[in-house]
Structure 1
């Protein structure tokens, strides 16, 4: 706590609420998951292309399958690092949440069409005898919820955003000019003596 005259001003750390800590947890969970998912796939991008192809999405051209297979791990790593650092949190969380929605839609489509594949979220994917679609959808829904929370409330403790985009420290005192003897009126305070009127 910081005392100012007769009033007491709370320090930033003491003003943190439960929602701030929920946001921090969401940021670390979603960021860590995305970073890990990208890291385990970045060493075998061709294998990731095969994982995308395993979904057998007919309207998706071969060139798009390759582009998604190559770019997705890189995107996941970038989003993961940004979220862990708390940099551009709202945008990073929104993109992460939309990515999770895409995963949920793809897994649901594979399930509805009777395919037996691993989702490829944390591995190279491909065919499997024991698909776990429901668990994968529920897991990605939880990660989507983390991203949605951060998109709604991106301010969290220990983030780079707090340092880069901190509010101005100029005190807001509407009576400042009224009690300032250097100026005759508020207009003088804003215009200045040397400014032509």
Structure 2
């Protein structure tokens, strides 16, 4: 008898059909993976030439010059590496967690700049450095990074998604 369920032969008679969450969650994770990867690629690309990224890191006045330069040069590469891993769906849970932690570090930096009365552009998508007090957007920058952090946390908590190397390698079914 044809029940119209094309996957019935894959389930045992007493196994219930997947819940709505089990059906939707992988697609939500895929959307978060692709969305966060796009953000990280944009952030990495707009930080070039590296002198702009270094200028943005130095504007926070948190690190000695040599450390700020190291961060300025390597941050775009780190963002790009995270983005590529998200797109590939490789080590998804860990990359989601690392992305969420990176956003938390960005939020802490912005809060620090705001608390110390600095008037800077966050440098998140290029630019960076000193700006007029009325040109700071700390609240908006923090809210945006909280949303990106939530996407990374979602990926870390529910990493199973289609079109992922993790799935092809049998890490998540």
Higher normalized contact order (CA 8 Å, seq sep 6+, divided by chain length): 2
Aligned to 1:119: 122
Task: Note the 1:28-177 alignment, pairs <5 A.
Answer: 28-41=34-47, 43-57=48-62, 60-129=63-132, 130-165=135-170
TM superposition score normalised by structure 1: 0.75
Gaps of 5+ in 1: 169-197
**C-alpha displacement at 1:73, in angstroms?**
0.1
Alignment partners' CA distance in 2, 1:50 and 1:6: 58
Q: C-alpha distance in 2, partners of 1:38/1:5?
A: 44
Q: Distance in 1 between matches of 2:157 and 2:11?
A: 36
Q: State the 1:70 CA deviation.
A: 0.6
Q: Please give the secondary structure, in 2, of the residue aligned with 1:165.
A: coil
Equivalence for 2:31: 25
Change (3 A) 1:10 1:39: farther
Larger Rg: 1
Distance in structure 2 (CA, Å) of the matches to 1:120 and 1:35: 14
Equivalenced residues, count: 164
**1 or 2, which has the higher helix percentage?**
2
TM-score between the two structures when normalised by the length of structure 2:
0.85
Specify the SS of the correspondent of 1:17.
helix
Please tell me whether the aligned partners of residues 52 and 126 of structure 2 are also in contact (alpha carbons under 8 angstroms): no
Residue 3 of structure 2 corresponds to which residue in structure 1?
none
Q: Which runs of 5+ in 2 are unaligned?
A: 1-5
Label 1:17 to 1:44 Cα distance change in 2 as closer, same or farther (>3 A).
same
Distance 1:4 1:127, change over 3 A: same
Q: CA deviation at 1:16?
A: 5.0
Of 21-30 and 98-107, deviating more is 21-30
